[in-house]
């Protein structure tokens, strides 16, 4: 596995610390459970789909805070009398926590649990002040206005 040293970039840039931290975290090996997909569903719409087989709505927690989306899954322990003995357990029911870093102006629109898949819909809403705008070009005949015409 390769390791990348980002320290030369710190010497020649100012204010990009968060970006370099994200790059460093992205290069680390991410846990493989549970598997997930990230897809673009429109120009400013995204969807994260997480495979959460065996988890119900009460077992899952979603938290959006600043630029981070955290999905936690924890099975509720039930005191039940087991009638059957499990010979092989291939469906994982272990707890997990999956954290996604969101770009600026990306908001969670909603979430739905369907057929063992958790769908989290996201939308990027750029404020009007941040959107590009067209500046009209004048003909250059700008006349200076006289504010006060009194002689000194």
Kindly report, residue by residue over 1-13, the tens digit of the pLDDT: 456 676 676 666 6
Domain assignment present for residue 60? The answer is yes
Structure token pair of residue 107: 């908001």
Domain assignment present for residue 24? The answer is no
Domain assignment present for residue 141? The answer is no
Structure token pair of residue 13: 């840039």
Tens-place pLDDT, residues 42-84: 999 999 999 998 899 999 999 999 889 999 999 876 656 667 8
The answer to whether 113 and 40 are in contact (CB under 8 A) is: no
Give the chain's domain count.
1
Domain assignment present for residue 12? The answer is no
For residue 76, the 8-state DSSP code is: P
CATH number at residue 112: 2.60.40.790
Domain assignment present for residue 132? The answer is no
Domain span at 66:
32-77+88-127
Domain assignment present for residue 140? The answer is no
Domain assignment present for residue 41? The answer is yes
H-type helices in the chain, by residue range? 7-12, 17-27
Domain assignment present for residue 104? The answer is yes
50-83 burial code (b ≥16 CB/10 A, e <16): bebeebeeebbeeebeeeebebebeeeeeeeeee
Of residues 130, 74, 72, 76, the one with CA closest to residue 104:
130
pTM of the model: 0.66
- Report, as an integer, the average pLDDT of 32-44: 91
């Amino acid at each position: 596995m390769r390791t990348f040293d980002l320290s030369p970039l710190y010497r020649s840039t100012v204010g990009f610390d968060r970006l370099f931290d994200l790059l460093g975290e992205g290069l680390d090996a991410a846990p493989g459970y549970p598997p997930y997909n990230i897809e673009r569903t429109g120009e400013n719409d995204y969807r994260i789909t997480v495979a959460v087989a065996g988890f119900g709505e009460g077992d899952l927690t979603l938290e959006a805070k600043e630029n981070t989306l955290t999905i936690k899954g924890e099975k509720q322990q039930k005191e039940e009398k087991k009638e059957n003995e499990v010979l092989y357990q291939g469906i994982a029911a272990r707890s997990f926590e999956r954290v996604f870093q969101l770009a600026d102006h990306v908001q969670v629109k909603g979430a739905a649990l369907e057929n063992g898949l958790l769908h989290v819909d996201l939308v990027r809403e750029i404020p009007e002040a941040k959107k590009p705008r067209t500046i009209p070009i004048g003909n250059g005949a700008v006349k200076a206005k006289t504010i006060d015409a009194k002689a000194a």
